[in-house]
A and B are shown apart, each in its own frame.
Chain A
Amino acid sequence: MKPLTTWRWNPVQGEYESGDAVPLQGTGEIFAIDAFSHKTMLLLGCTGFVGKVLLAMVLDRFPELRHLVVQVRRRRNLPGEERFYTEILRSPPLRPIVERLGGEPILRKKVQVVEGDLDQPLCGIRVEAVRQLERKVDVVVNLAGVVDFDPPVNESFDTNVYGTRHLIELVQLLNAKLVHVSTSYVAGKKNGRITEDVSVGYFPVRDARDGRHFSVDEEIEWYETFLSETRENRGGDPRPVRERLRAGGMNRAEFWGWTNTYTYTKSMGEQLIARTPGLTYSIVRPAIVESSLHFPFAGWNEGFTTSAPLVLMGGEGVKGWPVSNGPLEIIPVDLVASGILIITAAVLCGKNQPVYHLASADENPILLPRLVAFLGMNSRYKHKHKKSGNRLANLWKAYVETQVITVESLQARRARLRRGLDVIHAALTLGKTILGPDRVSPYLKSLRDTRRQIRQQEVTLDKFLPFMFHNSFIFETRNIRDAARMLTKEDLKRLEWDPKTIDWADYWVNIHTKGIEKWIRPVFTGKEKRDSQHSPP
Chain B
Amino acid sequence: MAQTANFSKAVRLGLIAGIVALSVSAIGMVQTFDVRDIITGVLTLGQLLLFSTALVAGYFSWQKGEGVAPVGAILRGLVAGLLTAVPPIALVFLTIIWPGIRNSFVNVSADLIEILTFGQTPVVGSLMLLVVMGVLGVIGAAFDLLPRRIQKPLFSGLLWTLVIGLLSEILLLILRPYTPRSVLNFLFGAKGITPITAVIVFVLAVGISAWWDAQGKQAMQHRRAEMAPAKAKQLRRLNIGLGVAFVLILPVIMGTYLTEVADIVGTFILMGLGLNIVVGFAGLLDLGYVAFFAIGAYVMGLLTTQGDLGIGGLSFWAALPFSVLAATLAGIILGVPVLRMRGDYLAIVTLGFGEIIRVLVVSDLLKPYIGGAQGILQIGKPQVMGFVFVQPEHYYYLILAGCLLAVFVSWRFRDARIGRRWMALREDEDVAEAMGIRLVSTKLMAFATGAAFSGLAGAIFASRLSSIFPHSFNLLISINVLSLIIVGGLGSLPGVVVGALVLVGLPELLREFAEYRMLLYGALLIVTMLLRPEGLWPSPIRRRELHAAELDHRPDDSEDAKSMA
Partners in one complex: no
**B residues at A contact (CB < 8 Å):** none
